Amino acid sequence: MTMQKLAGERILVVGLGASGQAAAHLVERLGGCAEVTDDRTPSSHALTALPESARFVDPHQAERSIRDAALVVTSPGIAATHRLLLAASAAAVEVVSELEFAARNLDSPMVAVTGTNGKSTTVSLLGEILERDGRRVFVGGNLGKPLSNAVGGGYDCCVVEVSSFQLEFVDTFRPRVATILNLTSDHLDRHGDMDAYARTKLRVFDRMQPADRAVLCRDQPWWRPRVGAVCARISTFGRTPLAAGEEGIVADVRGRVLEAHDGWRVSVGESWPVAPHDFDNLAAAAEIARCLGISAETVAASAREFEGLAHRLRYVATHAEVEYWDDSKATNPGATARSLEAFDEPVILMAGGIAKGADFAELAAVCGRLKCLIAYGEAAESIELACRDRVAVRRRSDFRSAFAAARDAAEPGDVVLLAPACASFDEFENYAHRGRVFAGLVEELGA
């Protein structure tokens, strides 16, 4: 796809965060004029991050002049029910996500990774594999660097982490390879129910062509009745065997081996990080790499060196014979449930924060593995109600008192696991901040 020329056209950018800033810069590079709006009064720092040709307008002003916009580019955090987006639709002005806007102007093929959990890990692994293969790669999207930054960069490939929010306003977005890693409940406060959430995720395949690849997980066959309309060739990854005639890769987690239907084989050895679910992410990355013609040796070399990402089930320290583990990035019940599978020891789980409309039944189902559950923050009551019949629950108002309760409940040989099943924004800037505070509290135990 070639870059659009905007020739002075007025583009309204909604949201002055990372996506909005990147979109405004892209508008300028394309020759357009960005008007950027935000419901919050912008900081001077945010305003100076805008390109020279862009100007900030307040939301009322933006709404009054919506008809003059050639296009509205919206940020992922803006819900479809936002009054500006509704006003744009009413005025027949096209609304696209920053992802779609970038993709329309991108000169490189894309690999898209979506799903509820494991996106960042898979995308990072894939980036390393492609680089080792000698390709010039952009790795970004929901991971942090907006796709707009990749436009004009001449990359051989863009590996894009894609969120459900970004897929709400896509139209022409066409990755050459795309995966939905898994699907469990998340962001239901935004999408309403699981069906709507699944439909939004499936939009990643909407514009794919017969020569493109859709990569899906055999172990969670939720997608099988729904992909009839997927135009791309389907291949699968998973621990379960391949059916006759099926293309894909089988993950032997114990043996640390991946083997594809055509004999393509990766043996990882002992050096793999502890989380079994990370091996599923590796299987997805390997299948994508195989589809892109990359050798098994290259994948094996990247896998052996991969150390996992910060705050995703990372060992912190041992105090008084109790191990402390940080999985602060487990921001939904499905992630927390998988995290627990990594431990044979008795686990004291810290869970809480902002629930995002989550159904904690998924967490309740695995509570039998726990010694004790410390529920804290805004979601504490919902977590307690869902889990109290299965495990002893202690409720605390905030993170620090939850940590103290976990420490007090722990005995030698136990594990204290932070895997909160919730977002962090009631007490922290983000999940990484929450993980750092946890590590700080663990460190204080040794002081």
In the stretch 274-313, what mask flags binding to ligand ADP with x, by CB under 6 A? ---x--xx------------------------------xx
8 A C-beta contact, residue 85 and residue 14: yes
Tell me, what amino acid is at 208? M
Give the side-chain half-sphere CA count within 13 A for 19: 26
- Whole-number minimum distance, CB 252 to ligand UMA, in Å? 30
Ramachandran region, residue 259 (left: φ > 0; alpha: ψ -120 to 50; beta: rest) = beta
Report the site for ligand UMA in 9-38 (rule: CB under 6 A): 15-20, 38
Report the site for ligand UMA in 151-180 (rule: CB under 6 A): 163, 165
Residues with Cβ within 8 Å of 54's Cβ and at least 6 positions away in sequence, in order, are 13, 24, 27, 28, 33, 34, 35, 36
- Whole-number minimum distance, CB 147 to ligand UMA, in Å? 7
Work out whether 357 is an interface residue with ligand UMA (CB under 6 A).
Answer: no
Q: Which is nearer to ligand UMA, 101 or 376 (CB)?
A: 101
Q: Give the separation between CA 412 and CA 435, rounded to whole angstroms.
A: 23
Work out whether 78 is an interface residue with ligand UMA (CB under 6 A).
Answer: yes
Report the site for ligand ADP in 4-63 (rule: CB under 6 A): none
- Whole-number minimum distance, CB 441 to ligand UMA, in Å? 24
Work out whether 335 is an interface residue with ligand ADP (CB under 6 A).
Answer: yes
Work out whether 40 is an interface residue with ligand UMA (CB under 6 A).
Answer: yes
Residue sitting closest to ligand ADP (CB):
118
Tell me, what amino acid is at 349? L
Q: Give the separation between CA 112 and CA 132, rounded to whole angstroms.
A: 19
- Whole-number minimum distance, CB 185 to ligand UMA, in Å? 12
Q: At what angle do helices 333-340 and 276-291 cross, to 10 degrees?
A: 110
8 A C-beta contact, residue 132 and residue 301: yes
- Whole-number minimum distance, CB 181 to ligand ADP, in Å? 6
Q: Which is nearer to ligand ADP, 62 or 417 (CB)?
A: 417
In the stretch 81-100, what mask flags binding to ligand UMA with x, by CB under 6 A? -x------------------
186, two tokens: 């998340």
Work out whether 351 is an interface residue with ligand ADP (CB under 6 A).
Answer: no
8 A C-beta contact, residue 125 and residue 312: no
Report the site for ligand ADP in 315-334 (rule: CB under 6 A): 327, 329-330, 334
Q: Which of these ranges, 70-78, 231-239, 274-282, 293-301, lies near ligand UMA under the rule CB under 6 A?
A: 70-78
- Whole-number minimum distance, CB 436 to ligand UMA, in Å? 16
With CB under 6 A as the contact rule, the residue among 25, 71, 76, 159 that binds ligand UMA is: 76
Residue 76 touches which of ligand ADP, ligand UMA, none (Cβ within 5-8 Å per kind) = ligand UMA
Cβ burial 389-415 (10 Å sphere, 16+ → b, else e)? ebbebbbbeebeebbebbbebbeeebb
Residue 75 touches which of ligand UMA, ligand ADP, none (Cβ within 5-8 Å per kind) = ligand UMA
- Whole-number minimum distance, CB 105 to ligand UMA, in Å? 16
Which residue, 364, 59, 337, 57, is CA-closest to 220?
A: 337
With CB under 6 A as the contact rule, the residue among 338, 356, 394, 407 that binds ligand ADP is: 338
8 A C-beta contact, residue 393 and residue 387: yes
| CB-neighbour burial class of residue 228 (10 A; exposed 0-12, middle 13-18, buried 19+) | exposed
Residue 120 touches which of ligand UMA, ligand ADP, none (Cβ within 5-8 Å per kind) = ligand ADP
Residue 437: CB atoms within 10 A of its CB come to 18
Report the Cα 88 to chain-centroid distance in Å. Answer: 28
| DSSP calls for 173-241 | ---SEEEE-------HHHH-SHHHHHHHHHGGGTT--TTSEEEEETTSGGGGGG-TT--SEEEEEESSP
Work out whether 236 is an interface residue with ligand ADP (CB under 6 A).
Answer: no
Report the site for ligand ADP in 145-164 (rule: CB under 6 A): none
Contacts with ligand UMA by CB under 6 A lie at 15-20, 38-40, 75-78, 82, 141-142, 144, 146, 163, 165
Contacts with ligand ADP by CB under 6 A lie at 117-121, 181-182, 277, 280-281, 312-313, 327, 329-330, 334-335, 338-339
